[in-house]
Amino acid sequence: MMLNLKEDLHIHCNYNDHSSKDLTIANIINKSEDLDLERIAITEHVRKNSEWTKKYIEELNYYVPRTRIKMLKGFEAKILVNGEIDCPAEFLNDEYFIVASFHTKYNKEQWSEALIKAIENPNVDVIGHLAPEFDFKVDDNEIRNLAELVVANKKKIEINSKYIRPPKGFLKIFKEYGVEFHLGSDAHSINEIGDFNRIKDLINIIEQK
Ligand SMILES: [Zn+2]
Ligand SMILES: [Zn+2]
């Protein structure tokens, strides 16, 4: 399958304090237009108790009709140890693009069980920067089971250029099973938007026949 390099479906902004101050939604759109991107998703880190979401959605709604770029209104939400997604319930519907990612270190059993629930969650669109923790391995049979589950639940798997993930072993098996992929820069600053140079190897694995 071919990946659309004119698409970046994982971009942060300045609503939390972990990204560059100038990573405003307006600047993201200007930069994306300069790069001639076709589609972007702004996916700020959310938690169930985040207090900025109303203003964020209002600002996204303001820009959606004011740019030629197709804009998805999104959130990146943490996969909790019980497999729930750390996102306010009001955004868990078709209107919002939800990237579910691990941001806390779990042991293998916790990780596997939480991941299965996240993949089965109908409100999750994509699993972000998927990879096992450094202190456990996932064997090929386990990856095959995940691949089947991803396909059965019509989830996408993100190829993430910040963390250079998923690992190649995952990608090769996922590809065999017909898993669908898209690109995410995970940009925390303006210049990272749409930059996939660090993951050329991963892109080649997906695109080679
Ligand atoms: Zn993340
Ligand atoms: Zn992110």
For the segment 33-52, what is each residue's pLDDT rounded down to a tens digit?
999 999 999 999 999 999 99
For the segment 121-131, what is each residue's pLDDT rounded down to a tens digit?
999 999 999 99
Q: 107: domain CATH number? A: 3.20.20.140
Question: Across residues 12-24, what is the average pLDDT?
Answer: 92
- Please give the pLDDT value at position 154: 97
- The reply to whether 2 falls in a domain is no
- The reply to whether 116 falls in a domain is yes
- The reply to whether 45 falls in a domain is yes
Whole-number Å distance between alpha carbons of 132 and 86 = 20
162, two tokens: 């910040």
- The reply to whether 93 falls in a domain is yes
- Please give the pLDDT value at position 65: 97
- The reply to whether 180 falls in a domain is yes
63, two tokens: 């820009």
- pLDDT band at residue 138 using 50, 70 and 90 as cut-offs: very high
**Considering its fold, how many domains does the chain have in total?**
1
Q: What's the 173 CA to ligand 1 centre distance in angstroms?
A: 23
Ligand number nearest CA of 18 is: 2
- The reply to whether 200 falls in a domain is yes
Q: What's the 132 CA to ligand 1 centre distance in angstroms?
A: 14
Q: Is a pLDDT exceeding 90 seen at residue 18? A: no
- The reply to whether 190 falls in a domain is yes
Residues spanned by the domain of 196? 7-207
What is the DSSP code (8-state) at residue 83?
A: S
Q: What's the 153 CA to ligand 2 centre distance in angstroms?
A: 22
Q: What's the 56 CA to ligand 1 centre distance in angstroms?
A: 18
Cβ neighbours for 115, distance < 8 A, ≥ 6 positions apart = 79, 83, 102, 127, 130, 146
Residues in a beta bridge with 78:
101
- The reply to whether 146 falls in a domain is yes
Question: Across residues 54-71, what is the average pLDDT?
Answer: 98
Ligand number nearest CA of 74 is: 2
